Amino acid sequence: MKFTINSKDFKATVERASVCLNIKSQFVNQRSVYMSANSETGIVTFSATNLEQVVNIFVKANVSESGKALAEYNIFKRMLNIPGNVTIRTEGKKIIATNKKKTGECCVADWDVDPSYYLVSETAIDENGISTVNKDEFVSVLENLSKFTSERDAKPANKGIYFNTFDTDIVALDGYRMAIYNIDKWIINNDVKIIVPAVVAKQMKKIITKNNDMISLYADKKYFCVTSDDFTFKTRLIEGEYFNYHNAIPSYMPEFSNRINADDVIPICKEYKEICSGSKYAKIPMGLYFTDDKMYTGIFSADYATVDTIELSDYVKPKQEFIIGVNPGFYMESMQLFKTEKLSPVCKYYSQLSPIVMSDGNYTILTLPTSLENTSIDKIKKLIA
């Protein structure tokens, strides 16, 4: 194998391929980058796997000799900083990188699985296309929804993002809150109900480049694939049934609603979250108190209290005084999503035990209420006065 490539392209390509590596694995193929050069096409494929996911990055190069090699990433990455045009070649059990002034070499790693595992079946992909979407929208949606998943939840489905194209929804939840993104504007070629690992959001952000305006999505019973002109990515799906999220959305009329400016709420939530992070107030929720004309937010305990006032728009007033508790961190993350999307969400309140439903544009977020022990409306009124 022998090819010449620009050092910047070389470094960027290897780093993109390495996003799914398991560097601490005892198996060499899971912590190594597989290179395959084709002199007929002038394409070099850089691949990596952790046996749950596979990524292939395709880059044009001056390929003088076809061949393949596996390089352990922690050693191989030291050769990525050689400047200028770099020639990569194999000599026996060595991989050598040089620009005539500087040379680096490392040993070829012996793989313990068939290297064809790194290659995605194009036939399988073509038969199971879901949709072709804008890469910026896709990355933004995955990144936003991944914040509403749980890394430690005992339920595997809560660690993933649910694609339900039958109902044109993409959903994420962690047992305390839920986010739904509506994809009714997408052109759906095949309907699927699949659970994609949330970690894919971070990987896609690193794999997809500025040149990938559109990407294609594919799926079968076990795998989810994302492809473009210069990469393919395949991940194993999370198995199991997903929560019936439709039942979590209240079907009856809300008591009242209002529109909130995220910029007004986020600083207050951040302050409350910092207060609650202390051991003394770790479990104190944030109270939302509504009167005829305003919304008040506050933290109340036996020996500490603070209240802030927030102006509301599109305010449908409650029939009577209403107070509900929320986790300040969760509430802030919900508002940050709407701020990122430059949306002012409409918040609907049903009861002190029902989830708060926030929606505007394409996103709908449900946040479960929290018990407001040691709190009374009389105490709040006193602080307001």
In terms of domains, do 58 and 137 share one? Answer: no
In terms of domains, do 266 and 369 share one? Answer: yes
Model pTM above 0.85: yes
In terms of domains, do 370 and 291 share one? Answer: yes
**What is the chain's length?**
385
Instruction: Tell me the per-residue pLDDT of 174-189, one tens digit each, with 9 for 90 and over.
Output: 888 999 999 998 999 9
Q: Report the pLDDT value the prediction gives residue 374, as an integer from 0 to 100.
A: 58
Of 246, 271, 302, which residue is a domain's last? 246
Q: Report the pLDDT value the prediction gives residue 376, as an integer from 0 to 100.
A: 60
In terms of domains, do 271 and 206 share one? Answer: no
What tokens appear for 10 in the block? Answer: 């070389």
Of 246, 279, 301, which residue is a domain's last? 246
In terms of domains, do 64 and 178 share one? Answer: no
In terms of domains, do 262 and 323 share one? Answer: yes
Of 246, 262, 283, which residue is a domain's last? 246
Is the pLDDT at 327 greater than 80? The verdict is yes
In terms of domains, do 263 and 347 share one? Answer: yes
Give the mean model confidence (pLDDT) for residues 140-145: 94
In terms of domains, do 12 and 97 share one? Answer: yes
310: left (phi over 0), alpha (psi -120 to 50) or beta: beta
> To 10 degrees, what angle do helices 200-207 and 7-17 make?
170
Mean confidence (pLDDT) of the chain: 87
Instruction: Tell me the per-residue pLDDT of 36-69, one tens digit each, with 9 for 90 and over.
Output: 999 999 999 999 998 889 999 999 999 999 998 9
Q: Report the pLDDT value the prediction gives residue 33, as an integer from 0 to 100.
A: 92
In terms of domains, do 140 and 217 share one? Answer: yes
Cβ–Cβ contacts within 10 Å for residue 6, how many? 17
What tokens appear for 172 in the block? Answer: 């994420």
In terms of domains, do 206 and 289 share one? Answer: no
What is the CA 20 to chain-centroid distance, rounded?
14
Give the model's confidence band at 286: pLDDT under 50 very low, under 70 low, under 90 confident, else very high: confident
Q: Report the pLDDT value the prediction gives residue 279, as an integer from 0 to 100.
A: 57
Q: Name the domain count of the chain.
A: 3
In terms of domains, do 131 and 55 share one? Answer: no
List the domain range (segments joined by +) for residue 139: 122-246
In terms of domains, do 38 and 130 share one? Answer: no
Domain containing residue 137: CATH number: 3.10.150.10
Question: Degrees (nearest 5) of the Cα angle 87, 113, 110?
Answer: 45
Is the pLDDT at 359 greater than 80? The verdict is yes
Whether 370 contacts 325, CB under 8 Å: yes
Q: Bigger pLDDT: 51 or 9?
A: 9
